[in-house]
Amino acid sequence: MSDIQLFESLRLHRETLCSSFLESATEIWRRIKLEFTVELPLLRKRWKQLLFGLIMQYVHGIFTGLAHRMHTPLEEPLHDVGFEITPELGPDKHWVSETIFGVMFFSFIAWTFTPFVTKRKRFYTAVLWPRLLMVLVTCQALRIITFTVTQVPGPSFHCRKGEVTAIRPWPKHWYQLLIVDVGRAMSKSCGDLIFSSHTTFMLTGVLAYNEYGSNAITKGLAWLGGVVLSVLIIASRKHYTVDVVVAWYTVPLVFFMMFRRWTTRRPMNEFLGNSDISQFDIVDGSEFDLDEAFEQKNGDIESKPITK
């Protein structure tokens, strides 16, 4: 093959790749716009739930700061069977559990927006997030009650007697209690133990994917990751075993109480007109194709005779 032929072949290959990339990008953008058209009316009906859920995260932060100020440290943590079973990772390996939690957390967030780019879907993002936040709000309210009425000495290394971070002084003015130190709350908090916040977030995500996800292997990996994370939380001495155990039965009970009682029917005729398309009525947990539904809807309209 001559140099000219080789150059021409490379040019054609490059043009083919560029054309394929542009077609894929155009298709993804079309799906995003189509999904946005469907999701927006659902979001308008649920924005108050979203706002309430986000405000509750701030309220939860206020109470975790209050728990830290009420915290009474001990030189050694309370006796715990889980501490005897699991090897102590040490303060220099706290990043292990945080890394696993971060990977699971951000992977889950990305998955909740897959209806905007995938051809087939099993849920609406605008419906899923208010539900998730209501589960979190309920669990966090229960959590606030438990760690506020009884202060347990923190088992973590930075919460033990003699450590500067174990005690947080009371502010001079009451309004300073409303200031949430996000960095401290994420890495150096003490006192907000029963029950584990990391386990609460993790289980909410795993249960949601188990309910609405479609890949059985991913579901298995999610549950395995949840078990590993729970063990690492105990091994890192971030929580007592009871904190993790209570979360493991409280979160599923709250989750299934809400998700089984809430309606799973999505009336779509409010923005598509009167339609007999069953895919638009039952989409929670059952897969359907948005393009096919729109084509069927348009076909029904075109088949109707025009009357004056």
Selecting among 68, 71, 198, 284, the annotated active-site residue is 198
Angle at 284 between CA 279 and CA 286, to 5 degrees: 60
Tell me, what's the pLDDT at 101? Answer: 92
Instruction: Please tell me whether the overall predicted TM-score, pTM, comes out greater than 0.85 for this model.
Output: no
Compare 13 and 215 and report the one with higher pLDDT.
215
Distance CA 122, CA 284 (A): 6
Range with lowest mean pLDDT among 113-127, 147-161, 256-270, 291-305: 291-305
Do residues 212 and 259 touch, judged by C-beta distance below 8 A?
no
Please give the helix or strand (H or E) that residue 182 lies within, else none: helix 182-187
198 is catalytic: yes
Q: Over range 18-31, report the average pLDDT.
A: 70
| pLDDT tens digits for range 245-273 | 999 999 999 998 887 766 554 444 444 44
Selecting among 60, 71, 94, 239, the annotated active-site residue is 239
243 is catalytic: yes
| pLDDT tens digits for range 59-75 | 999 999 999 999 888 88
Selecting among 94, 158, 243, 284, the annotated active-site residue is 243
Range with lowest mean pLDDT among 105-119, 139-153, 195-209: 105-119
Total length of the chain: 308
Q: How would DSSP label each residue in 51-70? A: HHHHHHHHHHHHHHHHHHHH
| pLDDT tens digits for range 103-121 | 999 999 999 998 888 777 7
Q: Identify the CA nearest to 277 among candidates 299, 305, 297.
A: 297
239 is catalytic: yes
Angle, helices 3-70 vs 125-149, to 10°: value is: 30
Distance CA 182, CA 168 (A): 14
Domain ranges of the chain: 20-47+81-263
